[in-house]
Amino acid sequence: MTSAAIPSPGTPPVIGSVDGQIIYAIGDIHGCYELLRSLLTKIAQDVASRSDTAAPTLIFCGDYVDRGPDSARVLDALCWLKRYAPYDVRFLKGNHEAVMLDYVRDPEQARDWMRFGGVETLQSYGVEPPCATADVLEHLRARDDLLERLPVAHLHFLEQLDLMLTVGDYAFVHAGIVPGMPLAEQSEADLLWIRDEFLGSPNRHEKIVVHGHTWTSSRPEHRANRIGIDTGAYETGVLTCVKLENGTVTFLSVTDAD
């Protein structure tokens, strides 16, 4: 576990207020159930170590499914947390959840899901995945098989995800925002998919943006205007969250070895 802010070169990172709350924001899980379980244990231990009794807020920043082996188990765990966790728990939509829903609605148009994680997700539900170039009947068969095995709670969970949350000086999104555009005017496509325009911007935004979606190493990024918490769990074996309190930013990480 690490517990120090990781600054970027250049402009010092900004540390904002969360209006007296304690926030744990979790990066992209991508079907890595065991890492999720380990990180939730670390968070619970961190909460228990505090002298105050304030209940924290957990914010999940999207991309729960695809690429890793256990998407179905991850969604089971998140549905359980939504109902029973002793915290305020909020869930954001990632681009991978968006494409999974697209496949449920129209598998012919969303067949490219098989190229970037749909295969692993279907397999986690016991569905034989078609290749991306298979004919439409094969994709309809896979979609129908998925619907037979997909718990209603999972589908409702996916359909009710938020696009953005704001707390104090922070905005939580999956991918990022269009620089210079008010938060209220950001499109769903940009919130779920943007990369270079957002990542390369040195400008201060309306709020400090906490996001996932893009990773370059197993370490989170704390930059002047954003905090990137995707650490490539499905490939690096590292899952990370950022803990925000008024005036402090710390990171908690778990690895496959934990």
**Bridge partners, residue 239, by sequence:** 254
Measured between alpha carbons, how far is 97 from 62 in angstroms, rounded to an integer? Answer: 8
Asked if residues 246 and 10 have their Cβ atoms less than 8 Å apart, the reply is no
* Distance set, CA 98 to CA 27, 201, 249 (Å): 17, 25, 30
Asked if residues 78 and 45 have their Cβ atoms less than 8 Å apart, the reply is no
pTM: 0.94
Measured between alpha carbons, how far is 23 from 231 in angstroms, rounded to an integer? Answer: 18
Only one residue has tokens 């990542």, namely: 199
Domains and CATH numbers, the chain: 23-214+229-255 (3.60.21.10)
Average pLDDT per block of 10 residues along the chain, 258 residues long: 38 81 97 98 94 88 98 98 95 98 97 97 98 96 98 98 97 98 98 98 96 97 96 98 94 93
